[in-house]
Chains A and B, each alone.
Chain A
Amino acid sequence: MKDFIRQLAGITGQEFVSAEPEERYIYSMDQGTMPPALPDAVVMPGSTQEVQQIMRLANRHKVPVVPMGGGLVLSGLTRALNGGIILDMKRMNRIIKVNPVSRHAVVEGGASEGMLQAYLKKHHPELKHSMPDAPPIATLAGNICIHGSGHLSVPGGFHSDMLTGMEVVLPTGDIVRTGSCSVSQDWFARAPLPDLSGLFLGWSGTTGIITKLGIKLFPSYAHNDLLVFVCEDADLMPDVISRLTGTQVAEDMTPWMTPKPEWARGFLHINISYGAHTKKELTFKRNLLQASVKKYSDRKIAGFLPMPPPQKSRFLKVPSADLVTFADIRKGGGFEYVGAIMSIEHFAEAYRAGLNIAKTHNVSYSMGARIIGAGHAMMFFYAYAFNRADQEDVKRAQHALEATNTAALEIGGIPWKAELPAQKQIIDKMDPGTFNLMNRIRSLMDPNHIMNPGNWEK
């Protein structure tokens, strides 16, 4: 190992390699409940060529490699389960180019959500990208790889749907391109070629390291507003969501159900963000949204909260820090959640399962969802806060998460960015042919089994 680490330093420079106890400790775990797994070293490459050299070296020595973006996945996917090295990609953070006419941007594999937002605001204020509610240091590549979603997921789908192509370093050190950039200078689409991008989306970093990617951009609006819908009956939610998405004017739609603040307990809210180029257009969109659920507001069983303009600005902030501050509600800095991707008709069932689990396991919870596409699916999340300094509290959260993964699968949903135990549950339910193909692809691409091993195994 010592020799290997010395050779790593030869690739990136000594200042970007560390086998010190401090780095090994911090990089052994994330903020969730999964137990630590010590890497042998942490490496920070500065270019695709360095990544390639590192992968070739790792293959020669058969050292496991774990790619890491922001490290904010919470489900422990950037732990070195079998030792080896963690590749912290965040030095590779450039915004490479923006195509304003065909609305896409090309960025490096470690580029952060925040910096792309800032770059567009300054250089292309007419454009924006879909941001997840993760903290701004989260990487675009990391979020896309786990099929994340965000503030433009209603028009745009999952963030993986917004991918237009990639440059990837394979586990063997080969560099490949996927999408139009493999044939053309432009990174405009994955069509019409065989879609090799799929080999890297949702694989938890077991098939390669993204060094560049193209992402779709959307028009940004001068005028932005928010509606907050509230009702008491979870069974109404699928129809409400269907009607609201049927207008096709919302940019983001996020139901939320939380027991705190006290006044919100038991009510189901939906935050609906939308924007327009003019005030008239904005009012028109608002009217469309309100009219779509008139059947409920006319009966006075549901409606939109009156919110004076000063109150709205907090909800219109992108990303919202609210999800993060939830981590301190037990004064313990711990927070993890199950995000189950599922069909919308399971809303009430999913909600009641969550209430039940929170009660049974005595955990502080928050539930919500993000509607994906024109009502095509939802990411229904169950978030549990815990006090990291209280082992009992951590255990309670862990058990709640396990129960939630089980419940989500039973309902027909699939937990995203699944932590290790949940991966095994998914595999158990998975079509054997599917799992078989996954294994064959991994063997083909990673013959020495060095890419984030330990994940997606029976």
Chain B
Amino acid sequence: MLHEQILHRCFRCGYCKMPSNYTDLNCPPYLAFRFETYSPGGRMWLLKAWLEGKIQPGRRFAEIMFSCTACGNCTEHCPFPDFKNLLLEAFTAGREAFLDGGTAPAGVKDYLTRMQLHGNPYGLPAKKRADWAAGSDTESYSGQEYLFFAGDAGSYDTRGQEMARSAAGLLAKAGISFGVLKMGENSDGNDVRASGETALFEELAGKNTELFNRNNVKKIITLSPHSLNTFKKDYPGLGGNYQVFHYTQVLALNMGRLKFKENQEPVLVTCHDSCYLGRHNRDYFSPRMILSTVPGIKIAEMDRNRQNSLCCGGGGGNLYTDILPSGEESPARHRIREAKKTGAKIIAVSCPLCAIMLEDAVKSEGVADILRVMEISEIINDRLV
């Protein structure tokens, strides 16, 4: 197993369970399940035990492995510099072993099957991928400066599609030159890779790369930070070398081109940092830069912000596989309760998966009348002339 030589070096100190300010727990599966087994340290020791023949890959072990959302809190806070950056890869390798052995949870197998057959996790026809852009002014890609990549949720989820249209529309207003590929794209594959299904990931990435290269794509703007992450880190090794940006990173430098309404109602907004824009790609700045230039918006930070942000629980395929429970202890509901404490009226997100997870949680918490989840571009569009 990849990185098996680091498994025994975990001291199970538990720094990985918390943010750097210790305000609460910060590992989504540990927070939801609370058994030591569901913490990163638990995973390390269980994988080691498996390799030593002390434990078998049963249903529970599978749930433990696939409940990890790859949020990166453990990597961020592990005190051991020699191997902290290998933790997520070790867990991915563990998941790969489960998939190879056929013992992955049913929800994961179904998710991956849909990906394989349809190129997206919804099991919807590939040819409907660009439908989100229909009826809008979004142009087809024909050599503009950027390719705009909406990703799975942005392409197929109703709410996601709203966000895709919102972000694309806003970029256009800011004078950014971009187009979308109406045929041939499939999932970016980020969460497939994180799940350990390497072969499928390479297949998905290969198809995208071939399509992008054929169309001479040089620069990509993504709606989802998940896409940003894999295009930036994994695609170059597979022949896909592009300059990749999350749309907030481009927008942050072009806010001067937007005209805002006068006399805006002041509103308190709290920022939820998405794992893949934040911890994985170190950008805590772009969403805040954007919000701070909008008249009337004041930011109130949650206790767990920036590199301490609590993952919404949607990563690692969990948005589609539902391994993490959706009860009171779900990370998303914890996050909403935390957002509520700031007194903010809006929780600003920069990822469609975060938006979907947190909106569900707002409903479950019964706070829809006082707290609204809004994607960054939606907040901006609301305040433009």
Contacts and interface: CB of A to CB of B under 8 A. Distances in A.
Interface of A: 15-16, 18, 20-23, 25-27, 30-31, 42, 44, 70-72, 88, 90-91, 112-115, 117-119, 121-122, 135-137, 321, 324-325, 327-328, 331-335, 387-389
A30 B11 CA distance: 9
10 contacts: A20-B60, A22-B42, A22-B61, A26-B42, A31-B13, A71-B36, A137-B17, A324-B11, A333-B9, A389-B8
A22 B15 contact: no
B30 to A, nearest CB: 10
A136 B46 contact: no
Contact of A21 (B35, B36, B58, B303): B58
A121 B60 CA distance: 38
Given A72-B13, A137-B18, A91 B79 contact: no
Contact of B49 (A15, A20, A25, A91): A25
Interface string B45-68: 110010000111010110010000
Interface stretch (B19-27, B115-123, B163-171, B221-229): B19-27
A113 B33 CA distance: 21
A436 B163 CA distance: 72
Interface string B297-338: 000000100000000000000000000010000000000000
B273 to A, nearest CB: 18
Interface in B55-110: 55-56, 58, 60-61, 64, 79-80, 82
Given A42-B35, A324-B79, A328-B82, A118 B11 contact: no
Contacts of B12: 30-31, 71, 333
B135 to A, nearest CB: 45
Contact of B11 (A15, A21, A333): A333
Contacts of A117: 22
Given A114-B22, A321-B15, 6 more contacts: A71-B12, A118-B22, A119-B23, A137-B15, A324-B11, A324-B79
A70 B23 contact: no
Contacts of A25: 45-46, 49, 54-55
Interface of B is mostly: loop
A88 B14 contact: no
A44 B14 CA distance: 18
B8 A23 contact: no
Contacts of B14: 70, 72, 135-137
A90 B54 contact: no
A381 B82 CA distance: 26
A34 to B, nearest CB: 14
Contacts of B34: 16, 44, 88, 90-91
Nearest to B56: A21
A42 B36 CA distance: 10
Residue from A23, A26, A113, A136 having most chain B Cβ neighbours under 10 A: A26
B37 interface: yes
B36 A27 contact: yes
Nearest to B42: A26
A15 B63 CA distance: 13
Given A22-B46, A88-B34, A118 B21 contact: yes
A22 B49 CA distance: 10
B35 A324 contact: no
A22 B58 contact: yes
A23 B37 contact: yes
A21 B60 contact: yes
A447 B314 CA distance: 49
B255 interface: no
A117 B18 CA distance: 13
A71 B56 CA distance: 24
Which are the 3 A-B pairs with shortest beta-carbon distances? A114-B22, A137-B14, A333-B9
B10 interface: yes
